[in-house]
Amino acid sequence: MKQLNNQVEKVKFLEDKSSSGKVRDWSGKKKRNLRLSEIYMMIKESYRKLHSEKFNRFLNREERCRMCATVLKYKRDKKGKRTLHEAYFCQLRLCPVCNWRRSLKIFSQVSKIIQSIEEDKEYAYLFLTLTQKNVSAEELDKMLDDMMKAWHRFLGYKKVKDVVKGSYRGLEITYDKNLIITKKMYQEKKDYYQKLGLKVGDKNPNFDMYHPHFHVLIVVNKRYFKNKEYQILAVATHSETGEKMVVYQALYGEYGVWVRPLSMFMEEVDRVKYPEAAQRYRFERIAAGPWENSKQQEIRTTRTTHVVNEGVRRSKMSDAATHSWDIPQEEPELHPLVAEFLDQETTEGRLEVLQRMSGKVDKRDLDSLCFCLDMNPVGGSVEEELDAIRQCIRMQQRYDAPRLRYGK
């Protein structure tokens, strides 16, 4: 190592300056690069003497590392600015020069992406730090594999896919080389050391340990933070004035149900009251997103069950001149196809189940289904009622906004 240090001191290093005049530290990084090549050479010789299979892994690393950034070719553009045109880099993960170059490249790429995203005011950011417990050098490889698998599994979840519009992940591994707890360490992690009953001067429990963690930048829609969305339940008519009213339910908080006149529901946002609102109307239709969660599924199922069970009691109060109902004495059980229909979340799925109902359900099953859809049974045969339900579903798909949010 002493011979290497003498060699390093004799080398003439490149001095490079940025456009602002700041000197880029090629010299310091190349010095560390040469020291790394010496370490690779020592490891290679150790494995050679032990006849280890790992010898082949380090066979060329020493030379690649030593030759890194020794050949740099520059060109001048039309404005006379000198830019790096051609170079040889070893691309080894631990190389200080290559890591520096890689960080500059990533910074440039991410900056351009963020600048492009900033132009679209519909997006915002989440910054996450995902950590793991400290591990020894022998456990590090397995820990990194587990972390990568967990990250890809996390991105595969449907709720995450619906939320995340894009992401950048960076891996950082820190190493604790302090044998004892210093005063600075104790001040930075006072609660941690007090919990372990340790003080300044005690042996560091994390000495010679590695701490791998992810730094993640996630791009999401701004609606992710507001989460004030609503679901239209029905468009009703006021019994006294005949005015159209919208019955809708909040998909947050206590999931309250509200009524608002249709004319007010379709109003534009009050720019005086909400000058920074991005949308035009108070309520706007949006695509189904990450908030279609288990709570909403529970609400939909609970509401459906409630309507079916309450159907008999409601029928007693309905207008007998409009239609009549078969009133069973016991609470009806849902036909399996009706239950399957109610579990469907897409129009196509519901229409497919309706197609299979032909000849398998009776009038009472379809009456229950009509209650769930907030529509009056049309009477007639089973096939006629099935056709009416199909038309109702297609009309809802075309005109009803299944999910809306309040513009604030």
Facing residues of 212 across strands? 173
Above pLDDT 90, what percent of the chain?
Answer: 12
**Spans of all domains in the chain:** 1-96, 120-221, 229-406
pLDDT band at 167 (very low <50, low <70, confident <90, very high): confident
Q: Given this model, what pLDDT does residue 286 score? A: 67
Between 292-301, 331-340, 386-395, the lowest mean confidence (pLDDT) is in 292-301
Q: Given this model, what pLDDT does residue 202 score? A: 92
Between 162-166, 287-291, 369-373, the lowest mean confidence (pLDDT) is in 287-291
Kindly state the average pLDDT of the residues 74-100: 82
pLDDT band at 317 (very low <50, low <70, confident <90, very high): very low
Q: Given this model, what pLDDT does residue 333 score? A: 58
Check whether 136 has a pLDDT greater than 80: yes
pLDDT band at 375 (very low <50, low <70, confident <90, very high): low
Kindly state the average pLDDT of the residues 9-27: 67
3 state SS of 313: helix
- Residue 212 in contact with residue 135, Cβ under 8 Å? yes
Q: Which residue has the tokens 């829609």?
A: 221
Check whether 332 has a pLDDT greater than 80: no
Rounded to 5 degrees, φ, ψ at 248 are -140, 160
For the chain, how many residues are written? Answer: 408
- 206-251 residue pLDDT tens: 999 999 999 998 988 777 776 677 888 888 999 889 899 999 888 7
Q: How far apart are the first and last CA of the chain?
A: 66
Q: Given this model, what pLDDT does residue 134 score? A: 92
Check whether 275 has a pLDDT greater than 80: no
Residues ≥6 apart with Cβ < 8 Å to 322: 376
pLDDT band at 339 (very low <50, low <70, confident <90, very high): confident
Query: DSSP secondary structure string, 267-294?
Result: PBP-TTT-TT--SSBSEEE----TT--H
- 48-67 residue pLDDT tens: 777 777 677 777 888 888 88
Distances (CA, A) of 251 to 78, 211, 256, 405: 59, 40, 8, 9
- 32-52 residue pLDDT tens: 889 888 888 888 888 777 777
Q: Which helix (H) or strand (E) holds 124?
A: strand 123-131
Check whether 130 has a pLDDT greater than 90: yes
Which tokens sit at 385?
Answer: 């009622």
Above pLDDT 70, what percent of the chain?
Answer: 75
Q: Given this model, what pLDDT does residue 123 score? A: 82
Kindly state the average pLDDT of the residues 117-141: 85
The mean predicted confidence, pLDDT, of the chain is: 75
* Cα–Cα–Cα angle for 157, 159, 164, rounded to 5 degrees: 90
Between residues 281 and 370, the one the model is more confident about: 281
* Cα–Cα–Cα angle for 287, 290, 294, rounded to 5 degrees: 120
Kindly state the average pLDDT of the residues 323-349: 62
Q: What is the DSSP letter of 258?
A: E
pLDDT band at 11 (very low <50, low <70, confident <90, very high): low
pLDDT band at 148 (very low <50, low <70, confident <90, very high): very high
- 345-364 residue pLDDT tens: 777 888 888 888 888 888 77
